[in-house]
Amino acid sequence: MQIDWNHFTPWASLIGGILLGLAASLFILVNGRILGISGIVGGLLMPRGGDAAWRLAFVLGLVVAPAVYALAGGPVPATVDAGWLTLIVAGLLVGVGTRYGAGCTSGHGVCGLSRLSPRSLVATLSFMGAGFAVVFVIRHVLA
Protein backbone atom coordinates (compact mmCIF):
# COMPACT_ATOMS: atom_id res chain seq x y z
CA MET A 1 0.00 0.00 0.00
CA GLN A 2 1.36 3.38 -0.97
CA ILE A 3 0.54 6.49 1.05
CA ASP A 4 -0.68 9.51 -0.89
CA TRP A 5 1.11 12.27 1.03
CA ASN A 6 -1.06 14.92 -0.66
CA HIS A 7 -3.98 13.67 1.45
CA PHE A 8 -2.01 13.41 4.70
CA THR A 9 -3.16 16.46 6.66
CA PRO A 10 -2.44 15.91 10.36
CA TRP A 11 -2.43 19.57 11.36
CA ALA A 12 -5.64 20.46 9.56
CA SER A 13 -7.24 17.30 10.97
CA LEU A 14 -6.09 18.14 14.50
CA ILE A 15 -7.40 21.70 14.27
CA GLY A 16 -10.69 20.45 12.80
CA GLY A 17 -11.07 17.91 15.60
CA ILE A 18 -10.39 20.54 18.25
CA LEU A 19 -12.93 22.90 16.67
CA LEU A 20 -15.53 20.14 16.46
CA GLY A 21 -15.00 19.17 20.10
CA LEU A 22 -15.17 22.80 21.17
CA ALA A 23 -18.36 23.38 19.17
CA ALA A 24 -19.99 20.26 20.62
CA SER A 25 -19.01 21.25 24.15
CA LEU A 26 -20.27 24.81 23.76
CA PHE A 27 -23.49 23.61 22.15
CA ILE A 28 -24.36 21.32 25.05
CA LEU A 29 -23.33 23.93 27.63
CA VAL A 30 -25.32 26.75 26.05
CA ASN A 31 -28.33 24.82 24.72
CA GLY A 32 -28.37 21.67 26.82
CA ARG A 33 -28.64 19.66 23.59
CA ILE A 34 -26.47 17.13 21.82
CA LEU A 35 -24.78 18.41 18.66
CA GLY A 36 -26.10 15.77 16.27
CA ILE A 37 -26.75 16.88 12.71
CA SER A 38 -29.51 14.35 12.07
CA GLY A 39 -31.42 15.47 15.18
CA ILE A 40 -31.04 19.12 14.27
CA VAL A 41 -32.18 18.59 10.67
CA GLY A 42 -34.94 16.21 11.78
CA GLY A 43 -36.24 18.86 14.16
CA LEU A 44 -36.18 21.36 11.32
CA LEU A 45 -38.28 19.09 9.13
CA MET A 46 -40.81 18.59 11.95
CA PRO A 47 -40.44 21.80 14.00
CA ARG A 48 -41.82 22.49 17.43
CA GLY A 49 -42.82 25.95 18.63
CA GLY A 50 -39.96 28.44 18.51
CA ASP A 51 -37.47 25.73 17.65
CA ALA A 52 -36.93 26.27 13.93
CA ALA A 53 -34.86 29.49 13.90
CA TRP A 54 -31.71 28.15 15.57
CA ARG A 55 -31.95 24.90 13.61
CA LEU A 56 -32.19 26.79 10.31
CA ALA A 57 -29.25 29.02 11.29
CA PHE A 58 -27.20 25.92 12.14
CA VAL A 59 -27.95 24.19 8.82
CA LEU A 60 -27.28 27.39 6.85
CA GLY A 61 -23.96 27.66 8.66
CA LEU A 62 -23.07 24.14 7.53
CA VAL A 63 -23.71 25.17 3.93
CA VAL A 64 -22.34 28.73 3.97
CA ALA A 65 -19.12 28.15 5.95
CA PRO A 66 -17.42 25.93 3.34
CA ALA A 67 -18.44 28.34 0.58
CA VAL A 68 -16.91 31.28 2.45
CA TYR A 69 -13.78 29.22 3.14
CA ALA A 70 -13.44 28.36 -0.56
CA LEU A 71 -13.91 32.02 -1.56
CA ALA A 72 -11.22 33.01 0.95
CA GLY A 73 -8.74 30.78 -0.87
CA GLY A 74 -9.16 27.53 0.99
CA PRO A 75 -8.11 24.26 -0.61
CA VAL A 76 -9.87 22.92 -3.67
CA PRO A 77 -12.86 20.78 -2.71
CA ALA A 78 -12.44 17.03 -2.94
CA THR A 79 -13.77 15.33 -6.01
CA VAL A 80 -16.37 12.60 -5.72
CA ASP A 81 -16.09 9.78 -8.23
CA ALA A 82 -19.74 8.77 -8.14
CA GLY A 83 -22.81 9.56 -10.18
CA TRP A 84 -25.86 11.44 -8.96
CA LEU A 85 -27.91 8.26 -8.54
CA THR A 86 -25.24 6.71 -6.32
CA LEU A 87 -25.04 9.87 -4.21
CA ILE A 88 -28.82 10.08 -3.84
CA VAL A 89 -29.15 6.41 -2.84
CA ALA A 90 -26.21 6.75 -0.42
CA GLY A 91 -27.75 9.87 1.14
CA LEU A 92 -31.10 8.14 1.58
CA LEU A 93 -29.42 5.10 3.17
CA VAL A 94 -27.53 7.36 5.57
CA GLY A 95 -30.79 9.13 6.44
CA VAL A 96 -32.56 5.85 7.13
CA GLY A 97 -29.59 4.65 9.17
CA THR A 98 -29.53 7.75 11.33
CA ARG A 99 -33.26 7.43 12.06
CA TYR A 100 -32.94 3.71 12.78
CA GLY A 101 -29.81 4.23 14.92
CA ALA A 102 -31.30 7.22 16.78
CA GLY A 103 -28.45 9.48 15.75
CA CYS A 104 -25.63 10.15 13.35
CA THR A 105 -21.84 10.09 13.45
CA SER A 106 -21.61 13.48 15.12
CA GLY A 107 -24.26 12.65 17.71
CA HIS A 108 -22.98 9.19 18.61
CA GLY A 109 -19.31 9.36 17.60
CA VAL A 110 -18.44 12.75 19.03
CA CYS A 111 -21.01 13.61 21.67
CA GLY A 112 -22.16 10.15 22.74
CA LEU A 113 -18.70 8.66 23.17
CA SER A 114 -17.49 11.70 25.09
CA ARG A 115 -20.39 11.13 27.52
CA LEU A 116 -19.42 7.42 27.79
CA SER A 117 -22.77 6.30 26.38
CA PRO A 118 -22.86 2.52 25.82
CA ARG A 119 -25.53 2.97 23.13
CA SER A 120 -23.27 5.40 21.28
CA LEU A 121 -20.34 3.00 21.54
CA VAL A 122 -22.41 0.22 19.90
CA ALA A 123 -23.71 2.64 17.25
CA THR A 124 -20.22 3.97 16.46
CA LEU A 125 -18.73 0.47 16.23
CA SER A 126 -21.62 -0.53 13.96
CA PHE A 127 -21.36 2.31 11.46
CA MET A 128 -17.56 2.26 11.42
CA GLY A 129 -17.54 -1.52 10.92
CA ALA A 130 -20.11 -1.26 8.14
CA GLY A 131 -18.06 1.49 6.49
CA PHE A 132 -14.87 -0.57 6.67
CA ALA A 133 -16.68 -3.59 5.21
CA VAL A 134 -18.21 -1.63 2.33
CA VAL A 135 -14.86 -0.05 1.39
CA PHE A 136 -13.13 -3.44 1.56
CA VAL A 137 -15.76 -5.09 -0.65
CA ILE A 138 -15.78 -2.26 -3.20
CA ARG A 139 -11.99 -1.95 -3.42
CA HIS A 140 -10.87 -5.56 -3.04
CA VAL A 141 -13.75 -7.87 -3.89
CA LEU A 142 -15.61 -6.05 -6.67
CA ALA A 143 -12.58 -4.25 -8.17
Domain regions of the chain by residue span: 5-141
Going by C-alpha positions, the residue among 48, 22, 36 that lies closest to residue 112 is 36
Q: Return left, alpha or beta for 116; rule: phi > 0 is left, psi -120 to 50 is alpha, else beta.
A: left
The string of pLDDT tens digits covering residues 70-99 is 888 877 667 788 889 988 998 888 888 888
pTM for the model: 0.71
Percentage of the chain with pLDDT > 90? 27
Rounded Cα distance, 92 and 107, in Å? 18
Rounded Cα distance, 28 and 107, in Å? 11
